[in-house]
Structure 1
Amino acid sequence: MTADDNRGRIRLLLDTADSKAWREWLPTGLFHGVTTNPTLLAAAGIPCALPDLRRLADTAFALGTGELQMQTFGRSAEALEANGRAIAAIDHRIVVKVPITREGAIAAARLKADGIRITMTAVYASHQALSAAALGADYAAPYLGRMNDAGRDGAGEIAAMQAMVRSAGSAMRILVASLRSAEDLARLAALGLDTFTFSPKVAAALFADPLTTAAAEAFEVAAETP
Structure 2
Amino acid sequence: MKFFIDTADLDDIREAASWGILSGVTTNPSLYAKTGGKLADFEDHMVEICHICEGLPVSAESTAETTEGMIAEAEHLASLAPNIVVKLPVTEQSLPAIHHLAQEGIRVNMTLVFSATQALLGARAGARYISPFVGRFDDIGDEGLDHLAEMVTAVHNFRYGYWDEEGGPEIITASVRTPHHVTQAALLGADIATVPFGALKKCVHHPLTDRGLELFAADWAKVTGEAK
TM-score range, shorter chain: 0.7 to 0.9
Relative to structure 1, the CA distance from residue 115 to residue 150 in structure 2 (aligned partners, 3 Å threshold; closer, same or farther) is same
Q: How many residues align?
A: 215
Q: Secondary structure at the match of 2:127?
A: coil
Of 140-149 and 213-222, more deviation after overlay is shown by 213-222
Which of 48, 57, 62 is the matching residue for 2:46?
A: 57
The 8 Å contact of residues 179 and 200 in structure 2, kept in 1 or not, is answered as yes
**2:202 is the alignment partner of 1:211:** no
Cα deviation code 1:97-126 (max 9, x no counterpart): 111111111221221111001111110111
> Which whole-Å deviations, capped at 9, do the CAs of 1:167-190 have from their partners, x for residues lacking one?
113531111100110111112222
Task: Say which SS state the counterpart of residue 131 (structure 2) adopts.
Answer: strand
Which residue in 2 is equivalent to 1:67? 57
Q: Which amino acid counterpart does residue 156 of structure 1 have in structure 2?
A: D
Task: Output the CA distance in 1 between the equivalents of 2:42 and 2:97.
Answer: 19
Give the CA deviation at 1:41: 1.0
Question: Per-residue displacement from partner, 1:122-163 (whole Å, max 9, x unpaired)?
Answer: 101110000011012111101001122234331111111111
User: What are the within-5 Å matches in structure 2 for residues 67-216 of structure 1?
Assistant: 67-170=57-160, 171-216=168-213
Give the Cα separation in 2 of the matches to 1:21 and 1:150.
Answer: 29
Normalised to the residue count of structure 1, the TM-score between the two structures is 0.87
Letter in 1 for 2:8: A
1:45 corresponds, among 28, 36, 39, to 36
Post-superposition Cα deviations, 1:6-31, rounded to whole Å, max 9, x if no partner, equal xxxx1110000111211222211111
Structure-2 change in CA distance of 1:91 and 1:62 (3 Å): closer
Per-residue CA distance 1:19-78 (angstroms, 9 max, x = gap): 12112222111110110011111111223x4x5333113322332352211111112111
Contact 1:139 1:175 in 2 (8 A): yes
Match of 1:5 in 2: none
1:221 and 1:30 mapped to 2: Cα distance? 31
Structure 2: tracts of 5 or more residues without a match: 161-167
- 8 A contact 2:50–2:81 mirrored in 1: no
- Identity, in percent, stands at 30
Give secondary structure in 2 for the equivalent of 1:73: coil
Shift of 1:90: 0.6
Whole-Å Cα distance in 1 between the matches of residues 79 and 86 of structure 2?
Answer: 10
- The alignment status of 1:17 with 2:8, answered yes or no, reads yes
Instruction: State how far apart, in whole Å, the 1-side matches of 2:23 and 2:155 are.
Output: 21
Q: Note if contact 2:185-2:193 (Cα within 8 Å) is conserved in structure 1.
A: no
| 1:141–1:175 Cα contact (<8 Å) kept | yes
Partner Cα separation in structure 2 for residue 35 and residue 64 of structure 1: 11
C-alpha RMSD of the superposition: 1.9
Q: Distance in 1 between matches of 2:106 and 2:22?
A: 22
Higher mean alpha-carbon deviation, 204-213 vs 92-101, is at 204-213
Equivalent of 1:29 in 2, 11, 20: 20
Distance 1:38 1:53 in 2: 10
Q: CA deviation at 1:213?
A: 2.0
In the aligned structure 2, how far is the partner of 1:157 from the partner of 1:61? Answer: 31
DSSP-derived class of the 1:33 partner? strand
